[in-house]
Amino acid sequence: MGIFADVKMNLNLIYVVQYYGIRLTGSNFANCLYHPDNTPSMKIYDDHFHCYGCGEHGDIITLTGKIFSISPYAAAQKLSQDFYITSNENSVSANTNIYQKSYAERENKVFRMLNDYCHFLEECREKYKPDIPTDELHPLFVESLMNYEQYNYYRDIFIFGSIEERLQFINDFNEKLNL
């Protein structure tokens, strides 16, 4: 099998879009990436997506390519690297070893923690912003101002960074994160 088939066979699109930071509604709708969308109109299924607003549709590779503005082959490579999908095309065993699975679980846990915290900070920034400049600042608003840029940068390491950068982050913060 080639890299495209391996990626499609081993990954769930719902999980992947959440991993890459796209928010889904309870019924797995998201704002469309192909047109301006104020109300989620793009339905994410396990193996494909369809926008009921503009009609765009495709698979996991198409959507990943759109998210990162990369070619289909580069999207397949990114998915393969980010989710430890090995391909016979690369002369590597199709069986992922236990260490890789363990590391992938830790990496996903760290990304979820960072992503959740960033979303929390975004909500606090909006919910607790002062109505007028002389209002006393809510501690959660101050926290959002102080921490968002740093934690958003950390989250970006897991979205755009190489496997080496993600591994370095996890190793550097292993004790702090209690992994």
> What's the CATH number where 58 sits?
3.90.580.10
Q: Map tokens 């975004």 to a residue.
A: 122
Together in a domain, 7 and 86 = yes
SS3 175: helix
- Return d(Cα 11, Cα 104) in angstroms, integer: 13
Together in a domain, 16 and 41 = yes
Cα-based angle 163, 21, 6 (whole degrees, multiple of 5): 55
- Return d(Cα 46, Cα 176) in angstroms, integer: 34
Enumerate residues 6+ apart whose C-beta is below 8 A from 81. 162, 163
Q: What are the pLDDT digits (tens) for 62-112?
A: 999 898 889 898 888 888 888 877 655 444 444 444 545 566 777 878 888
Q: How confident is the model at residue 11 (pLDDT cuts 50, 70, 90)?
A: confident
Together in a domain, 68 and 11 = yes
Together in a domain, 53 and 132 = no
Read off the pTM: 0.51
Together in a domain, 36 and 75 = yes
* Residue at a domain's end among 90, 121, 144: 90
Together in a domain, 7 and 38 = yes
- DSSP-assigned beta bridge partners for residue 43: 29, 50
Total count of domains within the chain: 2
- Return d(Cα 34, Cα 69) in angstroms, integer: 12
Together in a domain, 119 and 163 = yes
* Residue at a domain's end among 90, 113, 138: 90
Give me the domain span that covers residue 31: 3-90
